């Protein structure tokens, strides 16, 4: 056997050892940690009325394909429940079953006249607000079926620190006649019933609210007075991206 052959035989085990040590290393210690996509929005609701407590809001962040209501069309039973009882539960449950909805949130508490509530929503699995919409609705408690907020507004591509603002009009759900009697309103001015599944409003469609009638205006059966009247808009909504 020649000298060159002996050298080749001696080098082969060394090459094999180097390949095992280098090429077969599956250690991921030096790999960068996976980045979690997440957006955080700080949402603030300010009650602009002088005598209308606003019930815990139903807040929904979604893509195109979800709509809580269409103005001029009949309200869903879930919207009826929010507009007559002030509970956001049914509307949020229905929204949560829609594939276009990313996150739902029940506002933390009643917002008194002139008051404010601020909370944070965390959206997992997204890195921007591009293509996202906000719906946030709350009942005016001293009414039969009035609600306010924003419906399907585009957030746009918000950078961290950006803020968007809207003023929410008041809609009439069109599900209950606006009698303003003590027996038919859930708010503190009356402490009457919540949702009544019988729809006795002849319109039976969502429209802009024309305001309430009070006993000060000559409606003797009304449980409301001048302090419960409201102008448009009724709520200010501010959204800031904090992450």
pLDDT tens, residue by residue, 66-79: 999 999 999 999 99
Q: Average pLDDT in the 133-161 region?
A: 98
Residue 205: other Cβ atoms inside 10 A: 16
Checking if the pLDDT of 31 tops 90, the result is no
For tokens 């469609």, name the residue. 205
Name the phi and psi angles at 116, rounded to 5.
-145, 145
Specify the CATH number for 38-241; select among 2.60.120.330, 2.60.40.2130, 3.30.9.10, 1.10.10.10.
2.60.40.2130
pLDDT band, residue 35 (cuts 50/70/90): low
H or E element at residue 77:
helix 77-85
Q: What is the pTM of this model?
A: 0.84
Helix or strand (DSSP H, E) at 10 = helix 3-22
CB 109 within 8 A of CB 141: no
């Amino acid at each position: 056997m020649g000298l060159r052959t002996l050298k080749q035989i001696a080098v082969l085990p060394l090459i094999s050892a180097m390949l095992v040590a280098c090429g077969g290393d599956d250690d991921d210690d030096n790999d960068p940690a996976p980045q979690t996509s997440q957006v955080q929005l700080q949402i603030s609701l300010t009650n602009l009325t002088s005598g209308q407590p606003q019930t815990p809001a139903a807040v929904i962040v979604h893509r195109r394909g979800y709509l809580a209501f269409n103005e001029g069309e009949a309200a869903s039973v879930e919207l009826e429940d929010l507009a007559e009882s002030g509970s956001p539960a049914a509307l949020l449950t229905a929204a949560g079953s829609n594939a276009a909805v990313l996150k739902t949130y029940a506002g933390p508490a009643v917002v008194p006249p002139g008051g404010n509530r601020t909370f944070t929503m965390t959206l997992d699995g997204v890195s921007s607000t591009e293509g996202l919409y906000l719906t946030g609705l709350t009942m005016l408690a001293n009414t039969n079926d009035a609600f306010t907020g924003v419906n399907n507004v585009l957030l746009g591509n918000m950078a961290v620190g950006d803020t968007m603002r809207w003023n929410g009009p008041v809609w009439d759900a069109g599900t209950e006649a606006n009698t303003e009697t003590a027996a038919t309103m859930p708010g503190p001015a009356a402490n009457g019933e919540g949702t009544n599944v019988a729809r006795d409003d002849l319109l039976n469609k969502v429209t802009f609210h024309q305001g309430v009638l009070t006993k000060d205006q000559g409606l003797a059966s009304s449980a409301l007075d001048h302090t419960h009247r409201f102008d448009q808009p009724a709520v200010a909504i501010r959204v800031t991206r904090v992450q």
